[in-house]
Amino acid sequence: MTYLVAILAAAAGVAALDARFRLAFWRAPLATALAVAAGTAFFLAWDVAAIAAGIFRAGTSVWASGIMLAPELPLEEPVFLAFFSYTALALYAGAARILEGRGRAGQNPGPARAAEPDRVAGP
């Protein structure tokens, strides 16, 4: 159960940053919810295919809840995938905002500076 609580606590941290800077959910809730759902569904389908192929198996851990949604698919997996998708979206939105701000800074050079006189090489 500790792993699930850790994922939810980390998601709360991402949500706090999202709320503070209005990166994703607090900027466009419906679009964010759809993007997170689509990312979660994609990676969950990937996991199910890997489980069916025998590539993924649920391990045993004292940190996990032990709740299985399907054979070899613990409860923590879709929660982690949603967290992963949300975090990626928030990081993308934050990076885009930073780069957008840099682009604006390059367009507005600020006050003109007096040209420095040419320095003449000494003897």
Domain ranges, ordered by start, for the chain: 2-95
Nearest one of 96, 95, 65, 93 to 79, comparing CA atoms? 65
Q: What is the mean pLDDT of residues 113-123?
A: 55
**For 56-87, how does the pLDDT look when each residue is reduced to its tens digit (9 = 90+)?**
888 788 899 989 999 999 999 999 999 999 99
Nearest residue to 73 via CA among 56, 90, 87:
56
Show Cβ contacts of residue 57 under 8 Å, excluding neighbours closer than 6 positions: 51, 72
DSSP designation for 80: H
| Residue 73 backbone phi and psi in degrees, to 5 | -125, 95
Q: What is the pLDDT of residue 80?
A: 97
More confident residue, 102 or 46: 46
> Rounded to an integer, what distance in angstroms lies between the CA atom of residue 86 and that of residue 14?
8
Q: Given this model, what pLDDT does residue 117 score?
A: 54
> What pLDDT does residue 116 have?
53
pLDDT of residue 112: 53
Mean of all residue pLDDT scores within the chain:
88
Could you tell me the pLDDT band of residue 101, with boundaries at 50, 70 and 90? Answer: confident
pLDDT at 88 over 70: yes
The percentage of residues in the chain with a pLDDT greater than 70, rounded to a whole number, is: 85
Contact 27, 90 (CB under 8 A): no
3 state SS of 108:
coil
Give the whole-angstrom CA distance, residue 82 versus residue 74.
14
Strands in 6-99 per DSSP E = 68-70, 73-74
Structure confidence at residue 103 as a pLDDT band (50, 70, 90) = confident
Q: Distance from CA of residue 95 to its chain's centroid?
A: 11
